[in-house]
Amino acid sequence: MTAETPIAADPSAPAFCTEHSAAAGEPLAGWGAHDAATVLIRWPKAKWRHSLRIAGGMDGGVRAAIARVVAAGRRVNLIDRKPYDGDGIAVFLMPEAVRIDIAAAELPAVLDAVGGEPSRLDRFRPVPVAAPLVLCCTHGKHDRCCAKWGFALYKAVAAEAEARGQDFDVWECTHLGGCRLAAGLLVLPALRKYGRLVPADAASLLAAEARGHPYVPRYRGASTLNPAAQAAEVAALGAVAPAGCYSPQVAELGGTGRARRFAVTVGGRVVQVACRPGQVRSYGACDDLRAAKPLEAKEIWQAEILSVGPGGDPAR
């Protein structure tokens, strides 16, 4: 397993689900899943509620259009920042990687055009996304951890992006999943997801992403991989990080029982990794902790590096 620096916690009396998860030894690797088809809607944070996509000030037409988008298989999140450099509403579509700036009254029509023929969006003048989007979950009305750790992270990442010359487009965002792994962050369109970030990570995170590499110490694994393969990927990246992190390719080689073996090709080297299932018990959210609900059993994958060698046939 890759080394992490968990948030300090008193395991005897955790006050937040993030503290409890860290104290329980829950790893980040294996929790990188996220929907590739996404709609992001800029909506004032003051109007966010518990839902990740429905907020105050949305009329019935907007709510119905969002429901249709979700039913068609797209995730919808709300984003915001201050100051906001626009008069209307910004809508981002992924994986198309386009931005549409519209008046509020046009939002239902834009949402109904999503997922159809690309030409249906032409009248709304979509433009290519100019810089990677960095979404920091600050959704405190969904979970307290995202307010406590997420907003401090957002401020640090936004300041670092400004110092770099705005080569990243940084936003606050509603629920990204895994509140117990706060502070959480997602980079689009690369679709790389991170957890337990702290403000001191901001510079290293953006430096790695600017090179097209994951920031390994807080990386949760590629969203396209299953949890065991994510654990293998993160372990392999940690093993060869000094050689660079170049689009790792993960191949499953089989296994015995529930244990699984992988070959991860990265930076011109092949890392063989064994992954074995385990279990931790932690809270899924702060509401569960405060309500003293039973701990949830979560399956985790423990990765062990078997070998690191030059590129070639990983099965040999």
Give pLDDT, residue 4.
45
Give the list of residues 6+ apart from residue 9 with CB closer than 8 angstroms, or none: 19, 20, 22, 23
What CATH homologous superfamily does 17-32+133-310 map to?
Glutaredoxin (3.40.30.10)
Look at strands 169-173 and 75-80 and give their pairing: antiparallel
Cα dihedral sign for 300, 215, 199, 49?
A: negative
Give pLDDT, residue 164.
96
* Residue 20 in tokens: 């409890």
The answer to whether domain 17-32+133-310 and domain 38-128 are alike in fold is: yes
Spatial distance between the Cα atoms of 258 and 227, rounded to a whole number of angstroms: 13
Q: Where are the domains positioned within the chain?
A: 17-32+133-310, 38-128
The low-confidence residues of the chain, meaning pLDDT below 70, are 1-13, 242-244, 312-316
Give pLDDT, residue 243.
62
pTM of the complete model: 0.91
Give pLDDT, residue 268.
84
Instruction: Work out the angle at residue 218's Cα, subtended by the Cα atoms of residues 216 and 223, and round it to the nearest 5 degrees.
Output: 80
Q: What is the fold, at CATH topology level, of the domain defined by 38-128?
A: Glutaredoxin (3.40.30)
Contact (Cβ atoms closer than 8 angstroms) between residue 275 and residue 232: yes
SS3 call for 310 = strand
Give pLDDT, residue 242.
65
Ramachandran area for residue 301 (φ above 0: left; ψ -120 to 50: alpha; else beta) = beta
Alpha helices (H) along the chain: 17-23, 60-71, 107-113, 144-148, 150-164, 202-210, 227-240, 286-290
Give pLDDT, residue 288.
87
Contact (Cβ atoms closer than 8 angstroms) between residue 252 and residue 260: yes
Give pLDDT, residue 312.
54
